[in-house]
Structures are given as C-alpha cells and as structure tokens.
Amino acid sequence: MPAAAPPAPQPPQLLHCSFYRFHPIAEPQAAAVQLRELASELKGLILLAGEGISAAVAGTPAAVQAFEAALLASGLLGPQADLLPGGAKPLMFKHSACATPPFGRLKVTVKPEIVALGLPHGEALPAPDEQDDTHLSPQAWRALLAQVERGQAVLLDNRNHFEWRLGRFRGAVDPGVHNFRDFVAYVEAHAPAWRAANQPVAMYCTGGVRCDKTAPWMRSLGLQVFQLEGGIMNYLASQPDAAQDWEGECFVFDRRIALDAQLRETDTPLEAVFDPTHPDEAWRLQRARRLNEA
C-alpha cells in the first residue's frame, strides 16, 4: 500500500513583512497619518523620512496582502510604485512566517533619516540607488562568495557586532560595530589596502537598507562595492540550501529574536544574543526586554 502523501503545508496564521524604499517624501508627517490608516490591521514599526520609508509589520496573510496593495496604490512612493519607469525593480516585500507575534502594537514615526549610520557629511554624495547593477541576486551572490573563498573579494558584514556573532555568511569580516562610527572607522582604515589589492567589497545586511545607504559613501573612497539584493532575509527565503553559505542564526529586531537558515524561529533567548559585560549591548538587552514585554 503506497505511503500517504504528506499533508499540504498550511498558510501561516501570522506573516511578517519588511520593506524599504528610498523615494522623496515631501510631507512625511502627512504620509504618516495616511500610513496609520493603511496599516490599521497590522502591528509593527514604520519609519518615514524625507528620503523614504522603511517598515517591518505583521498580521494575518490577508491583512498583509491588503496593506501591500493599498500602499502601492496610494501614491506615497510615486506613481505605480511597484512598476517605476525606466525598467526599475518592483518594491521588494520580504516575508517570513511567524509562530510568535512579532510586535505588540503599530507605531508609525517620522525621523530625519530612515536609517542613521553616522556617515561623514563632507562632500555631497549621490542618493542611495536601489536599482543599480551592483545589487546581486542570491544566485549571483553565491557565485561571488566563491571569489571570497579564493581571497579575490572582501565579504563585509554591515550590521552590529552582536548580529555578526549570532550568525553570518561564511568568511564574512566583522567590522566590530558597537555604534555608528565603528563601521565608518573600519572602512576608512582598510580601504587603502582593499584598493591596492584591487579587491571588490561584497557587503550585506539584514534587509538591504543599511547597505544602500552606505554604498555611495564607500564608492566615494574609490572602492568597488557589491550588495546582496534584499539582504539576508531575501537570501534565506530564496535559497532552500542557504545553510551551506550561512552559519548560525539571523537576529531580527522583534519578539521572535532569531531565525535559522530556513527562516524558522529558534529558541534563542535575548540573554544569548547580547553580552551584558559590554555597555552597548547591556542597554540593548534592557531595551529588547522592555519591547518584548510591551
């Protein structure tokens, strides 16, 4: 008697959605009011600034889908935000299933920048460009990782030190970031050697926004920079065998705490993520505890 077919996977009860877009927003406060209405059925954090939007929200799959459709139709990110002129790439919504509700409430806030990295403010730099061909698909990124193994490229983790410690791409360099200035100082110190060796820098972060914000400044130093399109989350979602390239877990800034290479929640507690003997991580631990209890 043939074995019974395994049951079809059930859709998640909760779906996490993260995205960002660098697009001028003339009136962020007014946009915030509109977004609170569009996302009223969701919980999470939406950041707005004159430079664009960055968000991580969660809800039922139907509520998430409705929000995404409403956002694209709203005009907040320009006409036809998912099909911009010039063959631009669609807005990338990165999804992962949730067993734990990631957020306790919805917060929509306006800030000077959607991501602040403490970059030098000397000569004006080009605006971040999510569309250029330095963004590598997961498949192209895997090919570049082979160059890293041969010493032909530098693999740079553009996240905090505690995130790198919890999990990373194999061979990734840890810049030791405890505050914004650390990444800048590390790149400035190593850029001459990277240029002299003609080594491109392959850079990644959780969702891509930090890399997009940092890349123009790094190119101003004469570096050839490549970025992982959609960040770690896109890579893990699109590569069933991602564990051959990714070791450890990926920290997420919500109540789930950490995901494995298949985007499944792990049982890693906050106390295993942060080192309370380091002042920067001690306050992060306390803040994370408060957020998880809220």
User: What are the sequence ranges of the domains in the chain?
Assistant: 14-110, 135-293
Nearest one of 38, 146, 51, 97 to 263, comparing CA atoms = 97
For the stretch 94-109, pLDDT in tens is 999 999 999 999 999 9
Q: pTM for this one? A: 0.91
Distance set, CA 140 to CA 59, 101, 106, 216, 239 (Å): 32, 33, 36, 21, 12
Question: What's the CA gap between 199 and 147, in Å, rounded?
Answer: 10
Q: 126 versus 176: which is more confidently predicted? A: 176
Q: How confident is the model at residue 128 (pLDDT cuts 50, 70, 90)?
A: confident
Is there a common fold for 14-110 and 135-293? Answer: no
Answer whether 265's CB lies under 8 Å from 258's CB.
yes
Query: Is 98 a residue of the active site?
Result: no
Most distant CA pair in the chain, distance: 74
For the stretch 233-279, pLDDT in tens is 999 999 999 999 999 999 999 999 999 999 999 999 999 999 999 98
pLDDT of residue 83: 47
pLDDT of residue 40: 98
Burial (CB count <10 Å: 0-12, 13-18, 19+), residue 236: buried
What CATH topology corresponds to 14-110? Alpha-Beta Plaits (3.30.70)
pLDDT of residue 117: 80
Evaluate if residue 2 carries a pLDDT over 60. Answer: no
Evaluate if residue 116 carries a pLDDT over 80. Answer: yes
pLDDT of residue 84: 47
The 8-class DSSP code of residue 39 comes to T
Q: How confident is the model at residue 232 (pLDDT cuts 50, 70, 90)?
A: very high
Q: How confident is the model at residue 79 (pLDDT cuts 50, 70, 90)?
A: low
pLDDT of residue 227: 97
For the stretch 135-194, pLDDT in tens is 999 999 999 999 999 999 999 999 999 999 999 999 999 999 998 889 999 999 999 999
Q: Which residue type is seen at 236?
A: L
| Residue of 17, 98, 205, 211 marked active site | 205
Pairing of strands 135-136, 225-228: parallel
Pairing of strands 258-259, 225-228: unpaired
3.40.50.300, 1.10.150.80, 3.40.250.10, 3.10.20.30: CATH of 135-293:
3.40.250.10
Mean pLDDT of the chain: 91
Tokens of 57: 């929200």
Question: What's the CA gap between 189 and 65, in Å, rounded?
Answer: 45
